[in-house]
Amino acid sequence: MDETVATQTRYRAMSDTPLRQYLAGLPEVRALLGGGPEAWTVREVGDGNLNLVFIVSGPAGGVAVKQALPYVRLVGESWPLPLTRAFFEHEALSEQARWVPDLVPRVLHFDADLALIVMSYLTPHVILRKGLIHGTRYPRMAEDMARFLAETLFRTSDLHCPAAEKKARMALFCGNTALCRITEDLVFTDPYREAPLNRWTRPQLDGDAAALRADGDLRAAAQRLKLKFLTSAEALVHGDLHTGSVMATDADTRVIDPEFAFYGPMGFDVGAFLANLLLAFLAQSGHEERRGERDDHRAWLLDQVEAVWTGFEARFRELWLRVGGGDAFDPGLFADEGGSAALAAAQDAYMAGLLADSLGFAGCKMIRRILGLAHVEDMESIADPDRRAACERQALALGRLLVVRGGELGSIRAARQAAERIAEGRTP
Amino acid sequence: MDETVATQTRYRAMSDTPLRQYLAGLPEVRALLGGGPEAWTVREVGDGNLNLVFIVSGPAGGVAVKQALPYVRLVGESWPLPLTRAFFEHEALSEQARWVPDLVPRVLHFDADLALIVMSYLTPHVILRKGLIHGTRYPRMAEDMARFLAETLFRTSDLHCPAAEKKARMALFCGNTALCRITEDLVFTDPYREAPLNRWTRPQLDGDAAALRADGDLRAAAQRLKLKFLTSAEALVHGDLHTGSVMATDADTRVIDPEFAFYGPMGFDVGAFLANLLLAFLAQSGHEERRGERDDHRAWLLDQVEAVWTGFEARFRELWLRVGGGDAFDPGLFADEGGSAALAAAQDAYMAGLLADSLGFAGCKMIRRILGLAHVEDMESIADPDRRAACERQALALGRLLVVRGGELGSIRAARQAAERIAEGRTP
C-alpha cells in the first residue's frame, strides 16, 4: 500500500527473465507450473489499457501474471497512475472470492511492492467480448453474471454487511481515487465536452457528437449520474464490468480485473454489463456478410440482457429475504404479516430504483464507448467506417435514451424493446 | 486518534483541580481567562447525554471545556463509547470554521489523548431549545441556520470539493462508526420495535406506540431512510443538529457539538433541525396557561420552518451556480444557453429530492423523540402527562406523515400546512 516505498525500492516492470526468476522463488507457483524456469514459456499478452499481463506455461500448468505499470499503458508515461491499484484489485478479488469463488480467478500470490498478482491461468476461456463478436453463445453466462452481480453487491452492502465492517472497508477503498477519477472523467464528463482524448468515427459521426455535446438535458442527466457515482456508497462495485472483464467457456464464467473497485452505486456494475451486451447487439449488423445472418445471435444477446437483470433481481431479493444480516432492513422488523407485505413493497421500490440507476449508467457507458477515449472492439472491428458509424449512431441513440429516460422505462423488457426499435431504425 | 494509547496513558476524566492545572499550562487560554488558576471558577454544566462540559471563568474572560467520557453519560459505564469522538468533533468544528467561522465556537485548544476541546465561552447565549420553550424569538436564527446548512453541506459535497480530497476526508470520518451506530439504532430502529431503551408517556401513549410498531408502511419507510443514512455520502453532516446543538442570542447563532459528524445525506441535518422546530411548535400548547396565548409564537415557529428551508435552498443554489468547483456538475458543461436551462431543471429536481429526504429524516427524528431513549425538553417539561401526551400524539402523527409521505408533499409550505392541520386536530 505504501506507494512511495513501492516505487522507490523493489518495484520494477517485469520482463521475461526476471519474471521467470521471480516465479521460480514461489514454491506453490513453481509446483503448479512444473519443471524449472528454463522449461517455461512466457508471453506478454496485455491488450488492456493499463497493465502488463503475462501468461506463463510450464510442463504441468500455467499461470497469469498481472502487473500494474506506473502509468496508463494506452496513453503512456505522460499519464501517471498509482501502482496501488494492484492492491485494490487484490482486495476486491479476495472479497469476491468469499462469495463467488467459482466466478473469479484464484489468486496464487500477491506482491504489493511489485504491484503484481499471480492468478490461475484460465483456459480454454476466451474474453467474452471476443466470443460475442465472433457470434458465440455462452449458455451459462447470463446466470453466472446474474449471480456474480447479486452476490458481490448484496454481500458487501448494508443489507448484509454490518455497518462498522462496511465503513472500515469503505475507508480502505476511498484510497482508490485515481482509478475512480478515470471513470469520472472518461465516462461522465469528456464525452459531453470537447476533450482532447475524445475520438469517434470521423467524419461520419461529427454531427452526432456535436448534437450530443449541445444536448442540455443529456448533460444534466449524465451529471446527475456522476453525482450518484461520487456519493452512493452502496456496495463494493467491480467498477469496470464490461464484457472484456469476463472470460468464458461453455461451462465456466470468470470475472477478472476489478482494479477500479470502490464502494459505489450497485447500478454502475449492472449497467456496465448491460451496456456492453447492448453494444454487442448493435454491432452485430456490422459483422454480417449478408443481411440478417446474425438475427438469431442478436435475439440471443437481447435475451441475455433480460436474463442478466431478471436473474440478478431474483437472486438479490432472495438473498435479502433469506440471508439479510445487515443493519438496514433488519428482517426482525418485518416478521409479522403486515411487515412482510410492507417489505415486499419496499423491495419492489428498491429494485425499480436500482433498475433505473442501472439503465442510466448503461447509457453513459454506451455513449463513452462511441465518443470517448476507450472504444470497444465490437464496433472497432467493423472495418467499413460507414457501416461502423451506422451501428455507433444507434448506440448513441440508445445511450441517450437510457441516460435521459432510463428511469421511466420501468422494466428490462421495455429497455429491450427500445433497443429493438432503434436497431430497426424506428423511433425509440 | 489512537484510542488505545489515549485510554492507557494520559486520559483521565477531568475535575475541578486537575482542569485548573491543565488550563494554566496553556498560555493562550491562561491569558484569555486572566489571573491565575486560583482566581478562576469552574462549573460542570454538562446536561447532554454523552460528555463532561466545564465552564471556566476568570477575571478577563471564560472558556468552555468539553471532554468525552469513555461511556454514554446518560446510560452509564455499561455502554462504552470511544473517546475518538472528540477527534471527530474537532475535525468537524475545524471544517465548519473554514466556511462559517461566525456560526461555530472558536476552538482554542484540542487534546486528542484527553479527548478534550477548549472553546470560546458563548455568553450570553442560551441553548436554542430552552429559548424556544420559554417563548423567545430569535430574529437571526433562521437566516443563520440556513447559511450554516447551505455552507457546510455545499462546501463539503461533490458540488464543491474535488473528489480526491472528499474521499480522503470521507475515509477519515468512516472511523466515527460508533457514533453513527447510536443514530442507526436510536433513530431508525428502536422506535419501531420493542427495545429495552424505549420509553414514552405511559399509559397515555401505550396504544400509539403499539400502533406505530405494527405499521408496516412506516417501518419500511424508516428502513429506506436508514439505508440512505448508511450509504449516501453526500457531505460532511453535523449528525445531531437539533435545537439543543445551537446556542443563540438576538444577535448571534452558534452551532455546537458536531461529534456525530460523518459523510452522510444532507437531508439528515436539514431534517433534524426542522424536526426540532416542529417539536417546539407542537409542544407550545402544553406550555400555555390559557389557551391560545402562544398562538403568535406557534406561528413564528412555523415561519421559521419555512424560512430555514427557503433560505437554505436559495443559498445552496446560489453557491452551486456561482461557486461550484466540485467534480459533479462542472459549470463549464452548462455554459451555453441550453445548458443553463438544463442545469436549472437539474437543480429543481435535486432540491426537490433533498426536501423529500429532509422531511423523511425529520419524521424519523420526531418519532424517536417521543418513543425512543432520548426525549426533548420541549415535551418533557410539560408537567401534566395528559397534556404532554396530547402534544406528543400530534408529533407522532406528523412524524409518521413525514416518514411515509414526506416525499409527496412537494413543498415546505405543504409540510407547514400539514403541521397546522395536525395541531388543530384535523386530518393531515
Q: Beta-strand (E) ranges in B222-365?
A: 235-237, 246-248, 253-255, 262-264
Cβ neighbours of B202 (radius 10 Å): 10
pTM of the model: 0.96
Q: Which of residues 323-342 of B touch A (CB under 8 A)?
A: 327-330, 332-334, 336, 338-339, 341-342
Q: Is B333 in contact with A217 (Cβ distance < 8 A)? A: no
Residue A1 has pLDDT above 70, yes or no: no
Measured CA to CA, the distance from residue A54 to residue B298 in angstroms comes to 73
pLDDT cut 70: percent of chain B above it: 98
Interface mutation vs chain B, best among A198, A227, A334, A404, most B CBs within 10 Å: A227
Average pLDDT over residues B267-293: 97
Please give, rounded to a whole number of angstroms, the shortest distance from the CA of B212 to a CA of chain A. Answer: 12
Distances A1 to A112, A178, B8, B202, B347 between C-alpha atoms, Å:
7, 14, 29, 56, 39
Say whether residue B346 is in contact with chain A using an 8 A CB cutoff.
yes
Distances A147 to A153, A155, B249 between C-alpha atoms, Å:
10, 12, 59
To 5 degrees, how large is the angle CA A159–CA A163–CA A164?
A: 155
Residue A13 has pLDDT above 90, yes or no: yes
Q: What is the pLDDT of residue A3?
A: 44
Q: Is A224 in contact with B350 (Cβ distance < 8 A)? A: yes
Q: What is the pLDDT of residue B4?
A: 45
Select from B167, B215, B234 the Cβ nearest to the Cβ of A177: B167
Residues in B closer than 8 angstroms to A356, CB to CB, are none
Select from A170, A193, A328 the Cβ nearest to the Cβ of B223: A328
User: Which residue in chain A is spatially nearest to B161 when comparing CA positions?
Assistant: A230
Confidence band, pLDDT 50/70/90 cuts, at residue A158: very high
Specify the fold of B3-120.
Answer: Phosphorylase Kinase; domain 1 (3.30.200)
Residue B292 has pLDDT above 60, yes or no: yes
Residues in B closer than 8 angstroms to A172, CB to CB, are 171
pLDDT digits (tens, 9 = 90+) for B63-81: 999 999 999 887 888 989 9
pLDDT cut 70: percent of chain A above it: 98
Residue B219: name the closest of A59, A345, A399 by CA.
A345
Residue B1 has pLDDT above 60, yes or no: no
Please give, rounded to a whole number of angstroms, the shortest distance from the CA of A322 to a CA of chain B. Answer: 17
Question: How confident is the prediction for chain A on average, in pLDDT?
Answer: 95
Confidence band, pLDDT 50/70/90 cuts, at residue A47: confident
Q: Is A164 in contact with B181 (Cβ distance < 8 A)? A: yes
The grid coordinates listed for B178 are 460508533
Interface mutation vs chain B, best among A174, A182, A263, A340, most B CBs within 10 Å: A174
Same CATH topology for A3-120 and A126-423?
Answer: no
Q: What is the pLDDT of residue B8?
A: 54
Residues in A closer than 8 angstroms to B165, CB to CB, are none
Question: In this predicted model, which residue has the larger pLDDT, B8 or B254?
Answer: B254
Select from B170, B220, B329 the Cβ nearest to the Cβ of A343: B220
User: Which residue in chain A is spatially nearest to B223 when comparing CA positions?
Assistant: A329
Q: What is the pLDDT of residue B2?
A: 44
Distances B277 to A109, A194, B264, B371 between C-alpha atoms, Å:
58, 48, 22, 18
Measured CA to CA, the distance from residue A304 to residue A311 in angstroms comes to 10
Measured CA to CA, the distance from residue A305 to residue B333 in angstroms comes to 32
Q: Which of A39-43, A176-180, B5-9, B232-236 has the lowest mean pLDDT?
A: B5-9
Measured CA to CA, the distance from residue B400 to residue B396 in angstroms comes to 6
The grid coordinates listed for A213 are 455535446
Q: What is the pLDDT of residue A331?
A: 78
Measured CA to CA, the distance from residue A36 to residue A20 in angstroms comes to 9
Q: Beta-strand (E) ranges in B96-207?
A: 107-111, 116-120, 126-127
Residues in A closer than 8 angstroms to B217, CB to CB, are 342, 345
Match domain B126-423 to its CATH number in 3.40.1280.10, 3.40.50.280, 1.10.10.10, 3.90.1200.10.
3.90.1200.10
Q: Which residues contact A153 (CB under 8 A, 6 or more apart)?
A: A234, A235, A236, A237, A266, A269, A270, A316
Task: Map grid coordinates 445531531 to a residue.
Answer: B240
Residue B135 has pLDDT above 80, yes or no: yes
Residue B376: name the closest of B245, B238, B226, B222 by CA.
B245
Please give, rounded to a whole number of angstroms, the shortest distance from the CA of B88 to a CA of chain A. Answer: 15
Q: Which of A21-30, A311-320, B333-342, B390-399 has the lowest mean pLDDT?
A: B333-342
Confidence band, pLDDT 50/70/90 cuts, at residue A8: low
Residue B5 has pLDDT above 50, yes or no: no
Q: Is A170 in contact with B171 (Cβ distance < 8 A)? A: yes
Residue B6 has pLDDT above 60, yes or no: no
State the ipTM, two decimals. Answer: 0.96
Average pLDDT over residues A24-38: 97
Residues in A closer than 8 angstroms to B164, CB to CB, are 177-178, 181
Residue B188: name the closest of B365, B354, B359, B353 by CA.
B365
Q: What is the pLDDT of residue B337?
A: 86
Residue A98 has pLDDT above 70, yes or no: yes
Q: What is the pLDDT of residue B428?
A: 76
HSE, CB side, 13 Å, CA atoms: give it for residue B46: 19
Environment class of A59 (CB within 10 Å of its CB; exposed 0-12, middle 13-18, buried 19+):
exposed
Environment class of A337 (CB within 10 Å of its CB; exposed 0-12, middle 13-18, buried 19+):
exposed
Q: Which of A300-314, B327-341, B411-425 has the lowest mean pLDDT?
A: B327-341
Q: Which of residues 166-225 of A touch B (CB under 8 A)?
A: 166-168, 170-172, 174-175, 177-178, 180-181, 184, 189, 192-193, 214-217, 219-221, 223-224
Q: Which of residues 149-168 of A touch B (CB under 8 A)?
A: 157-159, 163-164, 166-168
Distances A16 to A53, A54, A65, B41, B239 between C-alpha atoms, Å:
11, 9, 11, 76, 55
Select from A164, A171, A216 the Cβ nearest to the Cβ of B342: A216
Measured CA to CA, the distance from residue A276 to residue A274 in angstroms comes to 5
Measured CA to CA, the distance from residue B417 to residue A159 in angstroms comes to 36
Q: What is the pLDDT of residue A6?
A: 45
Q: Is A345 in contact with B220 (Cβ distance < 8 A)? A: yes
Q: Is B161 left (phi over 0), alpha (psi -120 to 50) or beta?
A: beta
Residue A2 has pLDDT above 70, yes or no: no
Say whether residue A129 is in contact with chain B using an 8 A CB cutoff.
no
Sequence ranges of the domains in chain A? 3-120, 126-423
Interface mutation vs chain A, best among B88, B184, B333, B357, most A CBs within 10 Å: B333
